[in-house]
Structure 1
């Protein structure tokens, strides 16, 4: 039940990329409104994650999860019945907030219920589900659009969440355990507001800047995010020193495996989200494929990701970080193939996708597990919220920045050259991810007892 909600949230993050042309034609949206439909969800989703995690710590993970699923189902229906761009933008913003209430409770429940030595398999499934949701957004989204169920067109990608939510809600209420949470102090409203404003000042310009030609206000907003963040950070320290409970538990920053895991996930999500976005542009705008054809091109990637992600946890328990390094190498090989052979035709692109999917499956679940393995149960909610915020912010930022690289290189219809440029940037991010994992491994070896050399690797 937990993982189905995580799947829905990731699915809705990516599926709009495939449906964007249909939405634009049907609702007559301008480029700015379309950017908000696609990116507005990412913004409110990311901005609300830390607060959603802290609310779970306060009111209970099970309760927040149920509220979040109900809200996500309702807002999905509102997206599906929107009749103009303004309604769809508003519904997408609310859908992102609902996801922010729902998703942190998934990781928090796993971290609180399972002891560290048993979390690996559950976190492996979590990572596999998130990746599959992302890829399914491309594959199933294209199939839904092509099928045009009941004449719904693009609306089906949102309304499909209604039957899922109606099944998940009663089962979750029956099956999910009630986890004892701290639930003592008041919510840190100034801190939550400060982090939300910081993310707004970054994500809104990043999401709209390229389509608007990067006007002056986008740079002013991004510059203003720095002092807002510093003031918020100072408030977190002051509140913590007074004995309060800041929205960001600063004790998490002393857990080096957590910091290394967050850094690795930021690099991974910036690469992965931008890769999915730019490749969709290449397939549809560059090669002229339909939405369903483009979705099917992602199918081998999804299948191989499923296989390697489920094998990855078992392999990591046996071989440690070597599995993550191998996954990074395979993903890098796929990106390198795209850089060299993107113009050679669809078969080469599908092979490159298959390599990327295989490598990602070995990497992503292990990164999540490594980040959370040393997080204490009472920090599970906010730890999951910060981790999810970092993932979504990195994804949105990666799409904006690397998407801008793609659009700049694609002027005049040079989509193959644009894909080569963006894939080269993605390749650099994969190398940064591997470096962060190596750093975590070195710290683990320093902490590990000399008599147990076989257990020195960071394991999820």
Structure 2
């Protein structure tokens, strides 16, 4: 019996499998990097291309909402045509779109290339989580998702720091796009050769459903991305009102297709999985907080505290480093100690936010920007213990044949919540900060209290089911 039990234990992943994961994580890195790096280049873009405010907003936000709106479809494309093929084609398209961004001669060309870049990212990123789900046994999946979380954190940090360095090259802002091209092409070639096929189980693909779901998401994401900067013009409200009937019709059509034995873009069975849904909701609340936190901190540092972009990036550096450390440790510790690791991560993040608000309140906002680095480092460590294990726990709840749909739904929810957090809590921050952000310290204290409440809600959802190795 003992020998039989020993044989039933899955073998540890080989070095080759970890290398293959590294190839796939190139897609995660590039997609996240391009979400953040463009913010650094906005002044150069504006001056060189003579771009107006609307064009600049579309360059920054167009990628984000094309990426978010295409993620569900990207996940299902992997289910239909295979994860390796979809990832490799998506990566190649991303490299081509990056080249088009780098050689764009007009604002319109750059906006179109950025939209294509976002759609390409949406094709490749869900395949990473799908490949982790189908190739790593449950006992080792936590380490793989820890790497996923760590790479995401490093990419966000690199977008802020490396972006500034790339702007000093002779090619200026174009270099932040052109640097993707060689890495993307190499990764696409390696993926086509090395990645396991996976997926390919769907008998048919639902193109009408793909368009309907993407349209429904776009009707929310576009107003959220552009509305606040544009002063909420009439068309933003028309889109937000229209999403209700169109969303209901899309949902009805998807459910009808499932009842007829078809394979809709959104797998209805996922929403009958309570554990997956609880972790999906927890992840959404986390992204609501995290997206807004990074945005409001940037406004505080470069507004009220007068930090340069480089100084602000250095203040974020300890947070990014400890997020990476927490991500790498979190998966292993969760496998050993269970949900308590995620709960302790949430407590650390809340403690860091309270310390941040306390420092601002005690000094009246008159403090050197580097004073914020220690509490932010604690926040980063807590986030690292919380987010990657939560992703791994959510994907552990689904069957291998649901990997693409589950990954696409999960990443879409995260991106949607990120945009919503920046819009809602960013609006609250600006309303409290006043003209020229003179009261940004007070605004930050208030939104920190909101962030603490959101993390508490995340912990409540995670703690619904307790157990060793479970979340």
Q: Compute the TM-score of the two structures, normalised by the length of structure 2.
A: 0.90
Instruction: Say which of 35, 58, 69 aligns to 1:13.
Output: 35
CA offsets, 1:289-336, max 9 Å, x none? Answer: 322222222111111111111111111112111111111111112222
2:444 maps to 1:458 = no
C-alpha change, 1:399 and 1:335, in structure 2 (3 Å) is: same
Give the counterpart of 1:317 among 329, 335, 355.
335
Q: Aligned partners of 1:429 and 1:80: how far apart in 2?
A: 39
CA distance in 2, matches of 1:80, 1:277: 26
Equivalent residues of 2:219, 2:243 under 8 A apart? yes
Task: State whether structure 2 residue 392 is matched by structure 1 residue 369.
Answer: yes
Deviation at 1:51, TM superposition (A): 0.8
The alpha carbon displacement at 1:242 in A equals 0.4
How big is each residue's C-alpha offset from its partner over 1:226-251, in whole Å with a ceiling of 9 and x where there is no partner?
11111111111110010011111111
Aligned counterparts, 1:239-318, within 5 A:
239-318=257-336
Matched, 1:431 2:443: no
Unaligned runs of 5+ in 1: 446-454
Distance 2:199 2:231 in 1: 50
For these two proteins, the number of residue pairs brought into alignment is 442
In the alignment, the residues of structure 2 paired with residue 176 and residue 250 of structure 1 have an alpha-carbon distance, to the nearest angstrom, of 28
Whether 2:142 is the aligned partner of 1:120: answer yes
Q: Residue in 1 aligned with 2:176?
A: 157
Residue 331 of structure 1 corresponds to which residue in structure 2? 349
- 8 Å CA contact 2:89–2:188 kept in 1: the answer is no
Q: Is the 8 A contact 1:23 1:154 kept in 2?
A: yes
| Partner Cα distance (1:36, 1:421) in 2 | 30
- 1:258-316 deviations in whole A, cap 9, x for unaligned? 11121111111121122112222222233333222222221111111111111111111
* In 1, Cα distance between equivalents of 2:257 and 2:106: 44
Aligned-pair Cα RMSD in Å: 1.7
Distance 1:357 1:284 in 2: 20
Write the distance in 2 (CA, Å) between the matches of 1:328 and 1:231.
38
Q: Choose which of 224, 233, 247 in structure 2 pairs with 1:206.
A: 224
Q: How does 1:129-278 map to 2 (within 5 A)?
A: 129-145=151-167, 148-149=168-169, 151-179=170-198, 181-185=200-204, 187-278=205-296
- CA deviations 1:380-437 (Å, max 9, x no partner) are 1111111111111111221222222222233322232333333333222222211221
1:85 paired residue among 95, 99, 107: 107
Q: Does 1:384 align with 2:395?
A: no
Measure, in 2, the Cα distance between the counterparts of 1:422 and 1:37: 28
Cα gap change, 1:194/1:278 in structure 2, threshold over 3 Å: closer, same or farther? same
* Residue number among 359, 372, 388 corresponding to 1:349 in the alignment: 372
Which of 53, 56, 59 is the equivalent residue of 1:31? Answer: 53
Hey, what does 2:44 align to over in structure 1?
22
Deviation digits for residues 323-379 of structure 1 (CA, Å, limit 9, x no counterpart): 111111111122222222232321321112211111111011111011100211111
CA drift at 1:457:
5.2
Match for residue 420 of structure 1 among 445, 462, 470: 445
Following superposition, the deviation at residue 224 of structure 1 comes to 1.6
Q: Which runs of 4+ in 1 moved over 6 A?
A: none
* Aligned equivalents of 1:56, 1:240: Cα separation in 2: 19
Partner of 1:449: none
Most deviating of 54-63 and 212-221:
212-221
Distance 1:156 1:67, change over 3 A: same
- Specify the SS of the correspondent of 1:298: helix
Matching of residue 398 in structure 1 with residue 417 in structure 2: no
Deviations for 1:54-104, whole angstroms, at most 9, x for unmatched residues? 111111100000000001111112222222221221111111000010101
Distance 1:232 1:71 in 2: 28
CA contact (8 A) 1:407 1:418 kept: yes
Contact map agreement 1:76 1:91 (CA 8 A) in 2: yes
- Residue 448 of structure 1 aligns with which residue? none
Contact 1:48 1:196 in 2 (8 A): yes
